[in-house]
Amino acid sequence: MKRNTWQKEAVRSALGDAGGFVSAQALHASLRESGSTIALATVYRALTGLTDEGEADSLQQEGEVLYRACTPGTHHHHLICRRCGTTVEIEAQPVEEWARRTAAEHGFTRAEHVVDIFGVCARCSDLVDRASRP
Amino acid sequence: MKRNTWQKEAVRSALGDAGGFVSAQALHASLRESGSTIALATVYRALTGLTDEGEADSLQQEGEVLYRACTPGTHHHHLICRRCGTTVEIEAQPVEEWARRTAAEHGFTRAEHVVDIFGVCARCSDLVDRASRP
DNA sequence: CGGCTTACTGAGAACCGTTGTCAAAACCAT
DNA sequence: ATGGTTTTGACAACGGTTCTCAGTAAGCCG
């Protein structure tokens, strides 16, 4: 039987607070900083659980996996700030159709797609510009 | 100055023969099987080089990086068979525009996108169906 | 409430893909 | 051929993630 522990709840809550994609390690560090004694392995286990249950999305970047609390049960894509991780959920009906059609055209079945946009958000853009100016 | 060695050529050629996305380790294994004495680290270095020079594309899947020889100098996406790695290069003008527009709408700059479709190719579909039938 | 089963946790070791190190080998302009 | 430098190969090191296992604690049941 599945049990509820404060550890799982802490991870779910911290993930929600993060607002964007974060690594398991970063999440663990921030939980530790706010006084929690949760173990790293437990954070990994909780994140895996959340992902399996559709409460979180994950993506791989530079050799590590990033997680994010996501609206459950909806198919959507992400617009992610490379600098701060801030993420916007986006829908893309036309892209869904394009993907389905393209796969079918080439005889592919069971098609899934990965569609994410990485950029620098307005706020971070600002900071960068300011910094590079004398 | 950059030098040419048989090792780099061997990797380029093996990558071309692979036809789809393959891992560095798999490439190294297949080179070894065909008699080469090339070292794993060299395969990694060659693949990094090819990727930097635009001769290969790479993507991450399940914690490892996969490489593929790609038409240089063209922006394109991939339709990849989950089972055998066979890959079709696809162009997606509408998706490019959608990505650019979406990023701009949310104030994001320096936008890049990841658009890949994973499925099961016709041949593998066939094999799977045949296997599951009595 | 208290006992009991069993899932979950914590700590550290193990794992695995990848990168770094450094002496030896090989490339190539001369 | 020779010398200056890039590359290579073997192996150690690294970093993120998963495994192991003994100890802890949810939550059912009386």
Query: Mean pLDDT, to the nearest integer, of A90-96?
Result: 92
Across the beta sheet with A109-120, what order do the strands follow?
A87-90, A77-81, A109-120, B109-120, B77-81, B87-90
Does position A128 have pLDDT exceeding 70, yes or no?
no
* CA nearest to B113, candidates A85, A116, A77, A98: A116
Query: CA geometry: angle at B81 spanning B79 and B82, to 5°?
Result: 125
The amino acid present at B95, given as its one-letter code, is V
- Range ranked top by mean pLDDT from A24-38, A60-74, B63-77: A24-38
Residues B18, B58 contacting (CB under 8 angstroms) = no
Query: Mean pLDDT, to the nearest integer, of B72-85?
Result: 89
Rounded CA separation A111/B5 (Å):
40
Neighbours of A68 (CB within 10 A): 22
The amino acid present at B19, given as its one-letter code, is G
Rounded CA separation B5/A131 (Å):
43
Q: Tell the residue number behind the tokens 């991450």, with chain if given.
A: B60
Q: Which protein residue's Cα is closest to nucleotide D28 at C1'?
A: A1
Q: Please give the nucleotide, over all strands, whose C1' is closest to the CA of residue B1.
A: D6
B120 touches chain A (CB under 8 A): yes
Residue scoring higher pLDDT (A133 or B44) = B44
Rounded CA separation A91/B67 (Å):
29
Mean pLDDT score across all residues of chain A = 92
Best mutation site among B90, B117, B118, B126 for testing chain A: the one with the most A CBs within 10 Å? B117
pLDDT band at A103 (very low <50, low <70, confident <90, very high): very high
> What are the pLDDT digits (tens) for B80-129?
998 888 999 999 899 999 999 999 999 999 999 999 999 999 998 887 66
Q: Please give the nucleotide, over all strands, whose C1' is closest to the CA of residue A8.
A: C8
Q: Where are the beta strands (DSSP E) in A45-134?
A: 56-61, 64-69, 77-81, 87-90, 109-120
Residues B79, B88 contacting (CB under 8 angstroms) = yes
pLDDT band at A126 (very low <50, low <70, confident <90, very high): confident
Q: What is the DSSP letter of B86?
A: B
pLDDT band at B134 (very low <50, low <70, confident <90, very high): low
pLDDT band at A125 (very low <50, low <70, confident <90, very high): confident
Rounded CA separation A125/A50 (Å):
32
pLDDT at B84: 86
pLDDT band at A127 (very low <50, low <70, confident <90, very high): confident
pLDDT at A11: 98
A61 touches strand C (CB under 7 A): no
* Ordered DSSP codes for A3-59: ---HHHHHHHHHHHHH-B-EEHHHHHHHHHHTT----HHHHHHHHHHHHHTTSEEEE
pLDDT band at B55 (very low <50, low <70, confident <90, very high): very high
Taking CB atoms within 8 Å and a gap of at least 24, the contacts of A125-129 are A125/B107, A125/B108, A125/B109, A125/B110, A128/A83
